[in-house]
Chain A
Amino acid sequence: MDILDLTAVRLSEKIKGGELSAVEATKAVLGQISSVEDYYHCYVTVEEEKALRQAEQVQEKIKAGELSGPLAGVPVAIKDNICTEGMRTTCSSRILYNFIPTYTATAAKALKEAGAIVLGKANMDEFAMGSTTETSYYGVTKNPWNPEHVPGGSSGGSCAAVAAREAFCALGSDTGGSIRQPSSFCGVTGLKPTYGTVSRYGLIAYGSSLDQIGPVAKDVADCAALLEVLAVHDPKDSTSVRREETDFTAALVQDVKGMRIGIPKDYMGEGLDPQVREAVEQAAKVLEEQGAIVEGFDLSLVEYAIPAYYVIASAEASSNLSRFDGVKYGYRTEDYEGLHNMYKKTRSEGFGEEVKRRIMLGSFVLSSGYYDAYYLKALRTKALIKQAFDRAFEKYDVILGPTAPTTAPRLGESLKDPLQMYLGDIYTVSVNLAGLPGMSVPYGIDDKGLPIGVQFIGDAFQENKVIRAGYALEQTREWQMPDTKKGGR
């Protein structure tokens, strides 16, 4: 078997077992990057030298017995909105084209301390705003299953890198589906943890009350292993939660006997691609055969999730992104007259269309006279959506549904109609509004040869149930990865 086909956990086992070294693994993946990266463009920045040096150090520590965790020696990609000291962090925006952080995000630090080797920074939609990775200032990422299609977004670079075997696993971030949707489009497994589980310190904020960093990997076991490393209470993040149970790998058992699984009827109706619907129904059937109790139910309020999400996320973004002003770091316009002209020109030139659209939307909904009608109403809607989920979790252990209404669209189609693009988030945004964990697991290929993802949603802090259900389903499916040998040739 090719090294590159190994999962992160298996790779680490082999390295710890002495079958191969962290340096060999890093060289293998860097080799893959050099042969296919031009074609897929998963990264904004690749740091070959740094990765090799880190691999050597990690290998030494593994030899000395100082590193023994499940990620020791595993080369990873980090989404480019997660700060890495000394390594350029751009959020795929022009406005941060030269920004080199002075500190490392808590999540990235945890990964490095666990012995993961940072290959570089994964491409994304600018400031995580978008569903296709086409809003990146540094060029689009292509879907490794079919380069004429988008990888999804905003963590499109992270997910495509894992699919194209340009990284063994990756960190993404999810504000409205940004881990789960591209995972679904790229045929990889991505988990968005309960809000507060992974520290946001060092994650360049989009919608602070919704943002969560999470793992992107080849399978559920890798996601669980990554989450175990990431789920650490951080005193630097006031919204970080001290969790009692973080033994996520313990949930990796193929046993769903008696597990109550609900399928929201609202998720299975109009707008859902029939092939995706079929995959969800097939997954339900398979789980039922394994002893789970599956039934449909009315979740309600689904149609309000998207407007509420875009109001809240844009409002927070309009304030979060105000620090990018050309004064302290990043891009500053060439010619300007006075401070206000500098601000205006810098921001007009530094931000892309989608980011500017959301800043304007967010500024509008927070303006005096509109605050109550939009922002407060959206917050009330958010609370109602949370209640709808609370009611569902009185009856069910997990919720099963599609991750996205369709498989990956063709490049260049989505941005023509942003509103239509926003509607693609319909099954993922509620999970962020309610602060719940959700995971996309690949399940089937459509007639275009593109992967389909199904989504498991759990109650707050119930990642273990999501992992258990996802793992059980995964065991019944055929292993499929795109053939990247076609890449670039």
Chain B
Amino acid sequence: MAREYETVIGLEVHVELATKTKIFCGCSTEFGGAPNTHTCPVCTGMPGSLPVLNKQVVEYAMAVGLATDCQIHQKCKFDRKNYFYPDNPQNYQISQLYLPICHDGWVEIETEEGRKKIGIHEIHMEEDAGKLIHDEWGECSLVDFNRSGVPLIEIVSEPDMRSAEEVIAYLDKLRLIIQYLGASDCKLQEGSMRADVNLSVREKGSEVFGTRTEMKNLNSFKAIARAIEGEKNRQIDLLEEGHAVIQETRRWDDTKESSYPMRSKEDAQDYRYFPDPDLVPIVISDEWLDQIRGRQPELRTEKLERYKEEFDIPQYDAQILTSSKKLADIFEATTAICQKPKKVSNWLMGETLRLLKEHSQEPEDLAFSPENLAKLISLTEEGTINNKAAKEVFEQVFAEDIDPEVYVEEHGLKSVSDEGELRRVIEEIVTANPQSVADYKSGKKKAIGFLVGQTMKAMKGKADPGAVNKILAEILEK
């Protein structure tokens, strides 16, 4: 009988913090500058330069720690992780090993099997490295230190996850928490959130952990799910064939859907960690901690409950709207202007998400203003434009954030509400289509649809379909 296996997964998640300046110097963290323009003696490892800690980094780390029920080390410090690599200008990374800022927390995830707590072992602060660019044609590699010294937090989970589904739910939970805190935009594709997967398998019911591997280079939720599946199967196959799993770091190639070993445990470097003598210990007073606690924004769960209560919208709507901080922000801002929460919700959940999908974008990429969405909603509510026109206008709002009132005016999209004009056109349509009229009168009520369509066509779509139906019925019933 085939053995049954259980997958055991723990995650190391790196998150780039949304500070304006780097962790140990005043250089900008802005993405995409010309190479080595956001640099100074400190982040390029010039001799004699010294790091000075950016306070905002500590505050973001504390906020994430508090939101994940962590304990805060009120006296923590930085350590040096020593290794040679050209993207690391000092040849040591300033990180936290001995006393990380946060430890022993948890988040709750929801999967089809129900709710589950995922433990957080620790959260520590560290600096990012520069970027190496290998010249494909030349004989050299180049290094760009713009990213060197960008602040990161690393969130290390306990090995509490058992499936790709749980991993995705956990990552999604972290992403939402951090976005809600404003600590990072958490974009996997752009690398502001990166996850390394530690995975082992064991026979179901076993208490001991199997040998684990660490998987790197996972830059989308889908890649993570595929990598977990692939690695689980690889390990089970090894065990089934009587081989041992080797403890190593592997790199996932998502296009080939397979991984290959990067380095084994034997090659593992001795990082010779020791406390960084250039930085003084960070002392977090009770007052400072209380201040951060007091400033914690409403997180998703609370927001979801409030939406149902305050705006009287269904659970399903509230779930989708709060699934992105950006979506929730637009929802609240638009509702505050037009006071029509359900209408706002419909626009966001319907057309907005449809267009995002069409453009392969994330809600975080939304660029239109709540004012313009609110105007559009008012125009439809007043009957100034019909739904078809409204969708056309919204596409423009979505793409260019245009003013719907101006657009409707300029493009002559106003519905014709002049009943006399409408009645005259309908009478012409009725006269011109005796067959349809006869069908209708003989009981084929569906024939009215054709007449409505003809009327709308004649009106160039500017008629209110409700009014057309009403007038047609009157004429036909005569």
Residues of A within 8 A of B (CB): 81-83, 89, 91, 96, 99, 101-103, 105, 200-205, 207-209, 235-239, 315-316, 318-319, 322-325, 327-329, 339-340, 343, 363, 366-368, 371, 375
Rounded to whole angstroms, the CA-CA distance of A105 and B48 in the bound complex is 8
- By the criterion CB–CB under 8 Å, are B80 and A238 in contact? no
- By the criterion CB–CB under 8 Å, are A339 and B89 in contact? no
| B253-289 interface bits toward A, Cβ cutoff 8 Å, 1 = contact, 0 = none | 0000000000000000010111001111000000000
Partner of A328, one of B45, B49, B82: B45
Given A204-B47, A367-B272, A328 contacting B278 (CB threshold 8 A): no
Across the interface, which residues of B come within 8 angstroms of A236, CB to CB?
Answer: 50, 52
Q: List 28 A-B contacts (CB under 8 A).
A: A101-B47, A103-B41, A103-B46, A200-B48, A201-B49, A202-B48, A202-B49, A208-B277, A237-B52, A238-B50, A238-B51, A238-B279, A239-B278, A239-B280, A316-B277, A318-B82, A319-B92, A319-B272, A322-B84, A322-B92, A323-B47, A325-B84, A325-B91, A327-B86, A328-B44, A339-B86, A366-B273, A375-B274
> A324 CB to closest chain B CB, in angstroms?
8
Across the interface, which residues of B come within 8 angstroms of A208, CB to CB?
Answer: 277-278
B90 at the interface (CB under 8 A from A): yes
- By the criterion CB–CB under 8 Å, are A102 and B270 in contact? no
Across the interface, which residues of B come within 8 angstroms of A201, CB to CB?
Answer: 48-50
Across the interface, which residues of B come within 8 angstroms of A327, CB to CB?
Answer: 86, 143
Rounded to whole angstroms, the CA-CA distance of A367 and B273 in the bound complex is 8
The 9 closest A-B pairs by CB, nearest first: A322-B91, A366-B272, A209-B277, A208-B277, A202-B48, A204-B47, A83-B48, A204-B48, A323-B90
Partner of A102, one of B41, B53, B91, B274: B41
- By the criterion CB–CB under 8 Å, are A101 and B50 in contact? no
Rounded to whole angstroms, the CA-CA distance of A83 and B50 in the bound complex is 13
Across the interface, which residues of A come within 8 angstroms of B50, CB to CB?
Answer: 200-201, 236-238
Across the interface, which residues of A come within 8 angstroms of B47, CB to CB?
Answer: 83, 89, 91, 96, 99, 101, 204, 323-324, 329
Across the interface, which residues of A come within 8 angstroms of B92, CB to CB?
Answer: 319, 322
> A437 CB to closest chain B CB, in angstroms?
19
Rounded to whole angstroms, the CA-CA distance of A81 and B89 in the bound complex is 19
Max count, chain A CB within 10 A of own CB: residue among B51, B80, B274: B274
Rounded to whole angstroms, the CA-CA distance of A271 and B263 in the bound complex is 53
Rounded to whole angstroms, the CA-CA distance of A208 and B90 in the bound complex is 14
- By the criterion CB–CB under 8 Å, are B89 and A328 in contact? yes
Rounded to whole angstroms, the CA-CA distance of A96 and B44 in the bound complex is 16
Partner of A371, one of B41, B90, B274: B274
Instruction: Give the bracket for the number of chain B residues in contact with chain A.
Output: 20 to 34
- In the complex, residue of chain B having the shortest beta-carbon distance to the beta carbon of A234: B50
Rounded to whole angstroms, the CA-CA distance of A91 and B45 in the bound complex is 16
- In the complex, residue of chain B having the shortest beta-carbon distance to the beta carbon of A364: B272
Rounded to whole angstroms, the CA-CA distance of A352 and B280 in the bound complex is 32
> A241 CB to closest chain B CB, in angstroms?
10
Rounded to whole angstroms, the CA-CA distance of A291 and B92 in the bound complex is 54
Rounded to whole angstroms, the CA-CA distance of A207 and B143 in the bound complex is 28
> B143 CB to closest chain A CB, in angstroms?
8
- In the complex, residue of chain A having the shortest beta-carbon distance to the beta carbon of B52: A238
Rounded to whole angstroms, the CA-CA distance of A205 and B49 in the bound complex is 9
**Which residues of B in the span 69-89 have a Cβ within 8 Å of any Cβ on A?**
80, 82, 84, 86, 89
Across the interface, which residues of A come within 8 angstroms of B48, CB to CB?
Answer: 81-83, 101, 105, 200-205
| B135-158 interface bits toward A, Cβ cutoff 8 Å, 1 = contact, 0 = none | 000000001000000000000000
> A381 CB to closest chain B CB, in angstroms?
16
> B360 CB to closest chain A CB, in angstroms?
38
Rounded to whole angstroms, the CA-CA distance of A96 and B416 in the bound complex is 81
- In the complex, residue of chain A having the shortest beta-carbon distance to the beta carbon of B53: A238
> B129 CB to closest chain A CB, in angstroms?
13
> A210 CB to closest chain B CB, in angstroms?
8
Across the interface, which residues of A come within 8 angstroms of B86, CB to CB?
Answer: 325, 327, 339
Rounded to whole angstroms, the CA-CA distance of A441 and B377 in the bound complex is 85
- By the criterion CB–CB under 8 Å, are B45 and A238 in contact? no
> B159 CB to closest chain A CB, in angstroms?
23
Across the interface, which residues of A come within 8 angstroms of B82, CB to CB?
Answer: 318-319, 322, 366
- By the criterion CB–CB under 8 Å, are A323 and B89 in contact? yes
Rounded to whole angstroms, the CA-CA distance of A363 and B84 in the bound complex is 13
- In the complex, residue of chain B having the shortest beta-carbon distance to the beta carbon of A199: B50
Rounded to whole angstroms, the CA-CA distance of A235 and B241 in the bound complex is 62
Across the interface, which residues of B come within 8 angstroms of A368, CB to CB?
Answer: 270, 272
- In the complex, residue of chain B having the shortest beta-carbon distance to the beta carbon of A210: B277
Rounded to whole angstroms, the CA-CA distance of A377 and B272 in the bound complex is 16
- By the criterion CB–CB under 8 Å, are B270 and A323 in contact? no
- In the complex, residue of chain A having the shortest beta-carbon distance to the beta carbon of B141: A339
Across the interface, which residues of A come within 8 angstroms of B53, CB to CB?
Answer: 238
- By the criterion CB–CB under 8 Å, are A101 and B46 in contact? yes
Across the interface, which residues of A come within 8 angstroms of B46, CB to CB?
Answer: 83, 101-103, 329
- In the complex, residue of chain A having the shortest beta-carbon distance to the beta carbon of B278: A208
Partner of B84, one of A207, A235, A343: A343
Across the interface, which residues of A come within 8 angstroms of B51, CB to CB?
Answer: 238
> B49 CB to closest chain A CB, in angstroms?
7
Rounded to whole angstroms, the CA-CA distance of A147 and B453 in the bound complex is 110
- In the complex, residue of chain B having the shortest beta-carbon distance to the beta carbon of A202: B48
Rounded to whole angstroms, the CA-CA distance of A325 and B49 in the bound complex is 16
Partner of B278, one of A89, A202, A238: A238
- In the complex, residue of chain B having the shortest beta-carbon distance to the beta carbon of A344: B84
Across the interface, which residues of A come within 8 angstroms of B280, CB to CB?
Answer: 238-239
> A200 CB to closest chain B CB, in angstroms?
6
Across the interface, which residues of B come within 8 angstroms of A102, CB to CB?
Answer: 41, 46
Across the interface, which residues of A come within 8 angstroms of B52, CB to CB?
Answer: 235-238
> B270 CB to closest chain A CB, in angstroms?
5
> A71 CB to closest chain B CB, in angstroms?
22
Across the interface, which residues of A come within 8 angstroms of B90, CB to CB?
Answer: 322-323
- In the complex, residue of chain A having the shortest beta-carbon distance to the beta carbon of B87: A327
Rounded to whole angstroms, the CA-CA distance of A89 and B143 in the bound complex is 24
Given A102-B41, A202-B48, A363 contacting B89 (CB threshold 8 A): no
Rounded to whole angstroms, the CA-CA distance of A423 and B279 in the bound complex is 30
Rounded to whole angstroms, the CA-CA distance of A315 and B53 in the bound complex is 23
Rounded to whole angstroms, the CA-CA distance of A7 and B90 in the bound complex is 41
| B28-64 interface bits toward A, Cβ cutoff 8 Å, 1 = contact, 0 = none | 0000000000000100111111111100000000000
Rounded to whole angstroms, the CA-CA distance of A102 and B40 in the bound complex is 9
> B269 CB to closest chain A CB, in angstroms?
10
